[in-house]
Amino acid sequence: MSETEREIQKKEAETLETGERTRACRIYSPYVDIIERQQDIVVIADMPGVDENSVDITLEKNVLTIYGRVDADTPINHRLSLSEYGMGDYQRAFTLSDEVDRDKIQATVKNGVLKLVMPKAELAETRKIPIKAEGVGGLMNLNLSHS
Amino acid sequence: MLWSATDSFGRVFDTLRELEGIRRSLRRFDVPSTVEFPAMNVWVSDDNAVVTTEIPGIDPSALEISVIKDSLTLRGSRQTEELKEGESYHRRERWHGQFTKTLELPFDVESRKGEARFSKGVLYISLPRAEAEKPRKISVKSE
């Protein structure tokens, strides 16, 4: 039971404020599932009220930040008689490892769910440093073939 | 691990979370929280009620909304991604499973005139107030 309670209530984001915010609203930390697959890593975040035009994904150094802007869609001329959840923007940051191919990250939003697909970099290829032979033997062979 | 969520409190936060867990498990001895999934907000005016709820990722055609007098029942489910061979969860925080939630509205509504709209993961159910329940204006006659 404690498990379901934890997941129902929206959690406010623990963000380090780096400046004054211009939007007067709360920021929530979206709940996410992170799945590791053979070829990629998938991040699925619940961001109700967000569509493809109101989500920002930034990658700075190795920190991936997702930010979703929610424009409150409240009924006009109504007053709130029961409030079980709050409304506000979403923000959450993740630290990426080198295993992610940063240029190929794909993001989609459907029904208020953000899905990020991050292909893994091909480690064998990117980390292999070709070694050129610069030995005396090579030069000797070269000389021999000319003579 | 490939991943770690960056929260500003780091390990201290983990400890706090553990304490929170203990506090939660003790809470079963007192009144349980009344909020069930999904959380709902109810907006009212003199002749209308609007119920909003955040259920991202749900197929709206599989939702069942029923209204009787002043009670609204919402049924649905949300499944998680099926994992294939060699796939694993690093984090699993999103709500999943089946839900049924009944809500008491502040007045009786005309269920036949109700409308529902699902946009960006948010469900809006608009229910007009029953005619008999509408506040009536009483005019004052002067003698």
Give the separation between CA A107 and CA A109, rounded to whole angstroms: 7
B4 touches chain A (CB under 8 A): yes
A34 touches chain B (CB under 8 A): yes
SS3 A131: coil
pTM of the shown model: 0.72
B116 touches chain A (CB under 8 A): no
- Regarding an ipTM greater than 0.85, the answer is no
Which are the contacts of A142, defined by CB distance < 8 A and separation ≥ 6? Answer: none
**Are B35 and A84 in contact (CB < 8 Å)?**
yes
Give the separation between CA A16 and CA A19, rounded to whole angstroms: 9
Q: Percent of chain B, pLDDT > 70?
A: 83
| pLDDT tens readout for residues B33-79 | 557 889 999 999 989 999 999 999 998 888 999 999 899 999 999 88
Which residues of chain B from 88 to 107 reach within 8 Å of chain A, CB to CB?
88-95, 103, 106
B86 touches chain A (CB under 8 A): yes
